[in-house]
Structure 1
């Protein structure tokens, strides 16, 4: 079989190549969030001070942890459902690509908040939610896949309301984390498309 055709088929995939493994990885990550929130609850909310503090060099390492921490169970549960669905769909390029996409979104959201956000402690995995949503919406366009675009339209119909969260004005909501997470998702979609094109050219 033509290896270029195989590469193109992979770039247009909708279901992960190993769906059970992808489901376990995403479930494992969401399960970790529940473990972290349990620890936070048992310690009286002690972890909530480990959010990203914009332009604070003394706690710069919080950019690593902040998506793992939530304000309360309602905050976590609100993120858990979209993370499960969007994370699974975002792993259609394989687990390795999924981790790469996640790192791009994670760092884009965290660093964007650290540099540009309001003075506050920013926590929560919603930056990842917005990043995966943006990744799915843009990926199909870059891949020129009608099926991916269709799936993205369905995803948008279900979760599109969340895009309002990139706009300022909602008290207690890190719209900056949402915005830069979405930017990270677009960057990840562009990177995946670029790598697929480069792979095709080298075959």
Structure 2
């Protein structure tokens, strides 16, 4: 049976997780509502990533908060919450590092390799990064908990991996691909080295 102090600690942790994830999603939705209501969905999107435009490099950090309409936003909200929470449930520090790494790798990959005269935005690069991290953490860590999480994530979200291929016009597969690779990189960097046996 858990002690009162342990219950309070768990409650504080859950509250912090909800505040961080809920606050981020609230920012996604607030920005899109403002864009749709005040600007007919046409103004804020210019702050997405414009490949090889030096002035657009800083937009790597803004683009995940912007979406092309509510359908795009809804498609990113649920996996962001679920996958983000699975990372955060283990470690707040891991969540922040993974988010930073996948945002940078996804954004830079888009900036370097996506076609000129296009604009790329949305949280899907981050979502694919979370997916890559959770799937590969099981491989690098080799603990039964991380393998179990990887199997569950693969079952629930594995079909999304087709999104790393250029199969659908108007979808930034580059953000998906480099986000996923950023997640793999984060899994490798953040997994403690196993001692040689």
| Structure 1 and Structure 2 fold alike (TM over 0.5) | yes
Match of 1:7 in 2: none
Q: Which moved more, 1:112-121 or 1:52-61?
A: 52-61
**1:80: which partner in 2?**
77
Q: Which residue number in structure 1 is paired with residue 40 of structure 2? A: 44
Q: In the alignment, is residue 29 of structure 1 matched against residue 24 of structure 2?
A: yes
1:136 to 134, 137, 154: 134
Aligned counterparts of 1:166 and 1:139: Cα–Cα separation in 2: 19
Instruction: Tell me, in whole angstroms, the C-alpha distance in 1 between the residues paired with 2:85 and 2:14.
Output: 8
Corresponding position: 1:197 with 2:193: yes
TM-score, normalising length from structure 1? 0.85
TM-score for the superposition, normalised by structure 2: 0.87
- Classify the secondary structure of the residue corresponding to 1:60: helix
Output the CA distance in 1 between the equivalents of 2:95 and 2:80. 13
Say which SS state the counterpart of residue 124 (structure 1) adopts. Answer: coil
1:64 alignment counterpart: 61
Farther off after superposition, 44-53 or 88-97: 88-97
Unaligned runs of 5+ in 1: 1-14
Deviation at 1:34, TM superposition (A): 0.4
| Mapped partners of 1:103, 1:63: distance in 2 | 11
Q: Alpha carbon RMSD of aligned pairs, Å?
A: 1.9
Could you list the runs of 4 or more consecutive aligned residues of structure 1 that deviate by over 2 angstroms after TM superposition?
A: 17-20
Q: 2:7 aligns to what?
A: none
Unaligned runs of 5+ in 2: 1-9
Do 1:18 and 1:94's aligned partners in 2 also have CA atoms closer than 8 Å?
Answer: no
Aligned length: 183
